[in-house]
Structure 1
């Protein structure tokens, strides 16, 4: 959420910078991109995949058979989607790093790159590739006439479109790819033909899919089916409690709220849920969450960005300075109570 392709973005920054820097810089960027949970949570961190939630016994069952009791539970299962915009597989630290290193090499091999989907992830992806590899032909195919998140101000979406054009990205808007299932994704294959519903055909060496994110509902599907919306999100009340369960909260992507799925919003949800758990234990009134005006920053390469704050458009230079150049990594480290390595 928030910056769906930040992992790839930071890694392409890493590869291109590494080409002109000392080897020690590689270790620094690895440490900045990946933040260890155990350093923050210590013995309170348990790694595992939840396969069942027993709301009667108030127990969480993990895939290794371990059972964890709870008095309150916050569900924040997020979404799954296509690599590299999403990395949902269970990997070791080194394996995750290697996947992104390998993918940047795939981009380097390709001459023509097609990005399918012009939402926030696709916009960031196309702009980043053209920024770091100016010799690549990058084509963005999107079913809507406007790019980026539909909830953004029209002026912000227009700015995003203009940045893409300035960077030399070719836009095929109002068109949908019809043969996506037949294409090999994330590999360099010369001569792949991408077809659209407007009878356009594009020959590509690399196809990157930035569509189709789905809410991760496997952990609670069997026990909270009656509380689920059609997309798999959980219906919540104004306190972010799952309907019918005072001790179960849902935040982030898996909360059925009418607002963009962003890390920024997830942080606001988490604050409300945590406060309400404390209030419920101390006999205080619960806090309500209210959706507000959209705040979103879109990094479009290290030298460009567009966005809005609380419903007001931001100057491009401000987004570039505040988000695109650092990807707000410092903020993530600070929120985790850790100091980013220099």
Structure 2
């Protein structure tokens, strides 16, 4: 975006949420010389693109958490946002602390089941230990049932079967087609082929009917699982990869009139929240018709920060236009499927570009820290 910019006094940007969109916004604000505060309830950024590898490979989780304070110093504040007061232009943290803003960027992301998502309050050490504990459960199990065949479920099944080829892995999915519907048909078909090649058993067009009665992420021998089609199967470990929801808790009260049914914030072409020229929504919490991807969150962050600079400089605001879908699925460390701008990519290229290290290098570089070996 260029170097430092001249901005009027009193400009202070608060970024709520330190996911991919949040750290992208914070880095660009810092590069531009704008005063900002990044808020997150954790003390470390989670590169959750690699969360599933961290769920099966011992020692890998440490590489997926990057301390905020080492990058942003006193511009980072750890705390849970209780509410936003748009009239007073303050963000209120649990415990009563208030952070004043002239502009607000909401990057609260989505919440969902562990291990694909890690959104709870925890120190870096505690978070890493949760993944190491989960690995022990996987290692104890002779058979694993992955519930949900979207992108996360497909990648989870592939990771387990790649790391532990002797384990029985079954994936159950309510639809017949696997992976994300925004992917072209041939890529979704290829994801199915890779799973079958690896030995994953597929149970498609069925749902688990007694999921709420079953304990997740804990190995218990011969758990009985029933489907809505009357089938019964036994497994030792159940991993749920469904149920992603927009994390709207921080802003629900303040911006309820600007929310879509799923909790995402309605935005205009400039990513301004409907009805608020100084509030922007970035990443999964923005109501945009495109897949929820880290890549998109980074693009949103750039538009939001550019528009904050443009608005205080009296320049024309830039627009965000969703483009063709680019999506890569890591199918274990040795394989992958995906597309670039709507065109299917060779499996070896996805494996080389994403699957080997899951783009960890990119986040460590962006955070200007050295990745542990």
**TM-score (structure 2 length as normaliser):** 0.86
Select between 193-202 and 300-309 the one with higher mean Cα deviation: 193-202
Task: Name the residue aligned to 1:8.
Answer: 52
Runs (4+) of structure 1 moved beyond 6 Å? Answer: none
Greater share of strand:
2
Partner in structure 1 of residue 370 of structure 2: 339
Give the aligned partner of residue 249 of structure 2: 218
Segments of 5+ residues of structure 1 without an aligned counterpart are: 16-25
> Is 1:288–2:349 an aligned residue pair?
no
2:259 to 228, 249, 254: 228
1:122-156 superposed Cα distances (whole Å, 9 cap, x missing partner): 00100000000011100000011111111111111
Distance 2:124 2:363 in 1: 18
Write the mapping of 1:87-126 to structure 2, written as runs, cut at 5 A: 87-126=118-157
Q: Alpha carbon RMSD of aligned pairs, Å?
A: 1.5
Contact 1:6 1:327 in 2 (8 A): yes
The residue number in structure 1 matching 2:345 is: 314
Q: Of 206, 216, 227, which residue of structure 2 is paired with 1:175?
A: 206
Question: 2:306, 2:318 within 8 Å by CA — same for their partners in 1?
Answer: yes
1:303 aligned to which of 308, 316, 334: 334
Equivalent position of 2:162 in the other structure? 131
The answer for unaligned runs of 5 or more in structure 2 is 1-18, 21-46
- Please show how residues 38-49 of structure 1 align to structure 2 within 5 Å: 38-49=69-80
Task: Give 1:8-27 correspondences, 5 Å limit.
Answer: 8-13=52-57, 15=58, 26=59
- How much has 1:33 moved relative to structure 2? 2.2
Match of 1:12, SS state, is coil
1:5 to partner: Cα distance: 5.9
In 2: Cα distance, 1:329 partner to 1:162 partner: 27
Q: Give the Cα–Cα distance (whole angstroms) in 1 for the partners of residues 293 and 102 of structure 2.
A: 28
What displacement does 1:10 show?
A: 3.3
Tell me the SS of whatever aligns to 2:77: coil
Deviations 1:310-331, CA, capped at 9 Å, x for gaps: 1111110010011110111001
What secondary structure, in the 3-state scheme, does the structure 1 residue paired with 2:157 have?
helix
* Residues 64-97 of structure 1, C-alpha deviations (whole Å, 9 max, x = no match): 2100000000000011111111111111121111
Distance of 2:62 and 2:174 partners within structure 1: 38
Shift of 1:4: 5.4
Contact (CA 8 Å) 2:55, 2:134: kept in 1 or not? Answer: no
CA distance in 2: counterparts of 1:65 and 1:74, whole angstroms: 20
Indicate if the aligned counterparts of 1:5 and 1:84 stay in contact, CA closer than 8 A.
no
> How big is the shift at 1:192?
1.2
Q: CA deviation at 1:11?
A: 4.8
Aligned match for 1:71, one of 90, 102, 110? 102
Cα shift at 1:295 = 0.8
**How many aligned positions are there?**
329
Report what 2:35 is aligned to: none
Q: 1:196 to 1:5 in 2, by over 3 A?
A: farther
Aligned partners of 1:112, 1:335: CA distance in 2, in Å?
38
Q: For the structure 1 residues 11 and 171, does the alpha-carbon distance in structure 2 shift closer, same or farther, using more than 3 Å as the test?
A: closer
Describe the shift of the 1:207–1:11 C-alpha distance in structure 2 as closer, same or farther (beyond 3 A): closer
Q: What is the 5 A alignment of 1:198-209?
A: 198-209=229-240
Measure the CA separation in 2 of the matches of 1:189 and 1:10.
21
Distance across 2 between alignment mates of 1:299 and 1:32 = 17
Residue 271 to residue 39, structure 1, CA distance change in 2 (3 Å): same
CA distance in structure 2 between the partners assigned to 1:235 and 1:313 by the alignment:
31
| Distance in 2 (alpha carbons) for counterparts of 1:107 and 1:246 | 48
Query: Counterparts of 2:215 and 2:62 in 1: how far apart (Å)?
Result: 32
Contact 2:170 2:203 in 1 (8 A): yes
Conservation of the 8 A alpha-carbon contact between 2:67 and 2:124: no
